[in-house]
A and B are shown apart, each in its own frame.
Chain A
Amino acid sequence: MNFNITLDDIVLISPMIALFLTSLIPITFKVMRGNREQNPLTALTQGLIGVVMAAVLLAIFSGAGRMAFNNMLLFDGITQWLGVIALASAAGAMVLMYENPSMRGGQFSELIFLALSSALGMLILVSATDLLMIFIGLEMMSLSLYLMIGMSHEEQLAKEAALKYFILGGFASAIFLYGTAFIFGTTGSTNILDFFETARGLIETNRLFLFGVTFVILGFCFKVSIAPFHAWTPDVYQGAPTPLTGLMATAVKAVSFAAFLRIIATRSLEGSQNLFDILQWLAVLTMIVGNVAALLQNNLKRMLAYSSIGHSGYILVGIITAGVSENGSFGASGVIFYLLSYSIMTLGAFAIISMMEKSEDSLVSIDDLAGLAHRRPLIAICFTVFLLSLAGIPPTVGFFGKFYLFNAAIGEGLLWLAIWGVLNSAIGVYYYLRPIVMMYMKDGEGEIAGHSLNATTVTVVISAVCIVLLGLFSGSIFTAVENSLM
């Protein structure tokens, strides 16, 4: 094999190069200052500049299905949209890190470096078409995250979370690699594009290939916490510092689903009825497990962790739809739009929790919200918007996300999945209302943390405004997503 790296390739991966170079800035400064921490605001600014540059470059140069590095990376609509969603979520998470007590301290420069490396991994993941590239992206993203969780001030829970996440993440990667090996063994290639056309036929005839594809899919099921592979999620989400939980629940999930979407787009589901059936049941199970378990939680982070499992179930419905749809771009755009709406509202909700955390190891329970609406009307209204959007109440973007997702599912004849989806949304309403009840209808001492929270407040308000505006203009955005996938 001979590789010709052209200028085109470099231009296409310019967002990644930009991210990588800016990620070095904070730690270089720190070294040059004799290992003294620079002003956290400077480090944050450097990080945000990197993310913005990457997003702009991604928006300018990619699109229209351009390939780089011998078809290893694909820059199409999925890359653009989910890349920008992931970068925006990462930016939001960095802002939360800046003001969260468990993250702020002697190692903020390193954290920004790791956050940007993680974002770099995410960009690789959304653009990769080769299973090994997917693996590299996945590992780069996850390893940075393990370190970030472990580095935080929060003592025991965070360490436990880091270890748990590491072990189970490693396990999932191993399963993924195992599947990749089988695929390579049967097709002689690890590039999805090489067996894109033949996968459907291969899966019917070749058991080993089916085995490989199934294992790859299972690896993703671990990553995006599809039941019954979800058990790590609540513990890790609860134990990790809130800004990182926000990052995991939004950006990591969005990009993992992007890679999932690419694998599903090989139409392997149509080749194997069993795989198709199993995935449908997993989606139903995930929705039920997530929503029912969330009913029982008192810890706010744990509740949102289970709710995020529930949302994984909804998105899996979209993924399945995209996998069986003749008009693939419709189902896929439903997924992308859902991930967009989900990321905004989830990041906003975690930002609120981050504001509530007064010390490094405070656990925010739902009862702590009591009376918040009296003292902080703005925060309470924003949180209400996030929760109503998560519950799917119109006219928020959460409603339209569900609407497009289930619309696509019904269009593909997956009516029963849509019915399960809406029934679960009805269950979900109950636990999303509980914080609202606490904030508005109970008296209590609920108050946000005393230290400066301006940046987080800005993030929260922007997210809330986005939720309402994107809700009203969801049609044009959805069409834009769909057109970019054509």
Chain B
Amino acid sequence: MLLSAIVFLPLLFALIIALWPKETSLRHLALGFSLIEFFLSLSVFQKFDPSSASLQLVEKHVWIERFGISYFMGIDGLSLWLVLLTTFLMPIIILASWKSINTRIKGFHACLFILQTAMLGTFLAIDAIFFYIFWELSLVPMYFIVGIWGGSRRIYATVKFFIYTMAGSMLMLVAMIYMMYLTQEATGQMSSNLLDFYKLKIPFIGGQFFSLQTLLFFAFALAFSIKIPLFPLHTWLPDAHVEAPTPGSVVLAGVMLKMGTYGFLRWVIPLFPEASEYWAWLFMLIGVVGIVYGALVAMVQPDVKKLVAYSSVSHMGYIILGLFSFNVFGLQGGLYQMLNHGVSTGALFILIGMIYERTHSREISKYGGLAGVLPLFTIFFFIVTLSSIAVPMTNGFVGEFLILLGTFKVMPVFAYVAVLGVILGAVYMLWMFKRVFFGEPGPLVKDDHHPLHDLNFREVTVLVPLVVMIFWMGLFPNQFLDWSKASVDHLVQNRSAYNLTIYGASATPAAPLVAEPPTPTAEPTTESTPMPEAPSPTTDTTAEPGE
């Protein structure tokens, strides 16, 4: 019940907000709701067993029997932190948009909560069609958020965003239906259950593009690549980010892009092991190109928000690099970097939103010398900048270090280029920082008619949790990585024949008696290799330089 409550409670909140009669108390109500949701999601920790790689807190009901579609949700180490990231960012977003969203407040908050349901559903659904419904549903509220509350070119941006993502995912739907028929062939019973998909052995012929596994692989990969977005498919992202209102950008960068990378982790890599191994070079190449390209383009942006948008392209390149290195370091790093990017880029967008509320401009050249006027703002911005360029002690360092380590073990060449991206990242962020905060005061800063005020209490409240997370994740990565370790190990070791068990096998009536055995019996057969010991000491050592 817990997962259902987490996923569908926001939908109920959206309904209440839509019917709430008083506009003045709406924001408080929304904030309260989002906090309830956050605390509810924290209770997952109590019931979650980090030592098990199997699917936990499972809820499974038959939905459409004819096609074997089920209402199937479960959580494991891969999705745990993404769920928490989503619920963590939501109160922050609502508080951050307290002043900036002034029209149609009701609709805005209703959209946010529907979006939250869709995103959480995407992370928790373990049934292909069920997943697809949430995946597509997430487009609709985001479409309205960008289109109604966005900037001047919002309509172009939002339609582009919608069509790009929709077009990408249509082929995935065809692939899913096709795989449903494959399960029918294999077991005699059609099913869209992901656990049944995992059991399929899809024939793979290397070097032949028009072979079954390769085609299915690319149908899925295309949908997720557009969402991430990977290098040649990224053009919707800068438009959407720049035109979106601040909360929209935060959700988009913080969570929605992770839906793509999570898709790779949950769907593509375990479902098509041979194809993803065969084509790993392509995705690593795209990742590396994205890292460098994103960084170079970010460098020359005159608009701060666009700069951060392109930096997202660069950061997402790291994640894909980590995921396709197929070792514990790369996968853990990729997963960690998803969270880092959610926190630090989210914080950057919030900060940019705050300064935009004051000056109504995002042009770098109009600023300068901001540090003298807004000291508090400068401090926060600096911390977040450091996190974004992966300075040790901040969260960004742990993620990028693990990814580079993982990449180095498989394809050193890509690691060399990716390290170049780290330098470029520092260049564009620090250069921007210098031009905005130091030097001669720009026209917007020394405008005596509109003196700038430093952060108020609300804005500090928004930023403090993010900064706390930046250092917490930077200093004690194991507190986070331990929760996902079992799942990642399991994925790395059994990649060629991935399977997921249901925790405690509660699906069978005899569950209480054999609650423990299934997990241990499943593990020993796969843990015969000496690998599992490796990750924990290494993740320890990565933390040490920071301390």
Q: Give A contacts to B, CB under 8 Å.
A: 388, 393-395, 399, 403, 406-407, 410-411, 415, 418-419, 422-423, 425-426, 429-430, 433, 437, 440-442, 474-475, 478-479, 482
B residues in contact with A482, CB < 8 Å = 66
One of B42-50, B88-96, B128-136, B380-388 at the interface? B128-136
Q: Please report the C-alpha to C-alpha distance between residue A158 and residue B390 in the assembled complex, in whole angstroms.
A: 69
4 A-B pairs closest in CB distance: A475-B64, A422-B170, A426-B167, A394-B133
Chain B 409-438: CB-based contact to A (< 8 A → 1; otherwise 0): 000000000000000000000000000000
B171 touches A419 (CB 8 A): yes
Contact assessment for B171 and A441 in the assembled complex, using a CB-CB cutoff below 8 Å? no
**Does B174 belong to the interface (CB within 8 Å)?**
yes
A193 to B375, CA, bound (A): 87
Q: Indicate whether B67 reaches chain A with its CB closer than 8 angstroms.
A: yes
B144 contacts the other chain (CB 8 A): yes
Q: How many residues of B contact A (CB 8 A)?
A: 33
In the bound assembly, the distance between CA atoms of A405 and B428 in angstroms comes to 50
B167 partner residues in chain A, CB cutoff 8 A:
423, 426, 429
Min distance, Cβ A104 to any Cβ of chain B, angstroms: 35
A385 to B129, CA, bound (A): 20
Q: Which residues of B contact A415 (CB under 8 A)?
A: 174, 178
* Interface residues of B, Cβ cutoff 8 Å to A: 63-67, 69, 129, 132-133, 136-137, 139-140, 143-144, 147-148, 154-155, 158-159, 162-163, 166-167, 170-171, 173-174, 177-178, 180-181
- The answer to whether B129 touches A403, judged by C-beta atoms less than 8 angstroms apart, is yes
Bound together, the chains give a CA A425 to CA B163 distance in angstroms of: 10
Chain B residues, CB < 8 A from A478: 64, 66
Cross-interface CB contact of A423 among B64, B143, B159, B170, cutoff 8 Å: B170
In the bound complex, how far is the Cα of B66 from the Cα of A479, in angstroms?
7
CA distance A9 to B439 in the complex (A): 94
Are B159 and A426 interface neighbours, CB within 8 A? no
With contact pairs A418-B177, A475-B67 given, residues A441 and B154 touching in the complex (Cβ less than 8 Å): yes
Contacts of A440 in B (CB 8 A): 144, 147-148
Q: Select from chain A the residue with minimum beta-carbon distance to B215.
A: A415
- Subset of 24 A-B contacts with CB under 8 Å: A393-B139, A393-B166, A394-B132, A394-B137, A395-B137, A403-B129, A406-B173, A406-B174, A415-B178, A422-B171, A422-B173, A422-B174, A426-B163, A429-B162, A429-B166, A429-B167, A430-B159, A433-B162, A440-B147, A440-B148, A441-B154, A474-B64, A475-B66, A479-B65
12 further contact pairs, Cβ within 8 A, besides A394-B137, A403-B129, A407-B67: A393-B137, A394-B133, A406-B173, A419-B174, A429-B166, A433-B143, A437-B155, A441-B158, A475-B66, A475-B67, A478-B64, A479-B66
Tell me the smallest distance from the CB of B104 to a CB of chain A, in Å. 9
Give B67's nearest chain A residue, CB to CB. A407
B506 to chain A, nearest CB (A): 24
Task: Decide if A426 touches B166 in the complex (CB within 8 Å).
Answer: yes
Verify A441–B147 contact, CB threshold 8 A. Answer: yes
- A74 CA to B325 CA, complexed, in Å: 63
> Chain B residues near A433 (CB, 8 Å)?
143, 159, 162-163
A399 to B137, CA, bound (A): 11
Most chain A beta-carbon contacts within 10 A, residue among B148, B158, B177: B177
**Chain B residues positioned under 8 Å from A395 (CB to CB):** 133, 137
Complex CA distance for A123 and B222, rounded to whole angstroms? 46
List, in ascending order, chain A residues with CB within 8 A of B171's CB: 419, 422
- Among B65, B67, B162, B173: residue with most chain A CB under 10 A: B173
Contacts of A429 in B (CB 8 A): 162-163, 166-167
How many angstroms from the CA of A394 to the CA of B177 in the assembled complex? 15
In the complex formed, the residue of A with least CB distance to B65 is A475
Residues of B within 8 A of A475 (CB): 63-67, 69
How far, in whole Å, are A393 and B129 apart by their CA atoms in the complex?
12
Q: Knowing A403-B129, A475-B69 touch, does A430 contact B163 (C-beta < 8 A)?
A: yes
Which of chain B's residues has its CB closest to A394's CB?
A: B133
> A426–B132 contact, CB under 8 A?
no
Instruction: Give the docked Cα–Cα distance between A441 and B67 (Å).
Output: 39
CA distance A406 to B173 in the complex (A): 10
Residues from chain B with Cβ under 8 Å of A423 in the complex: 167, 170
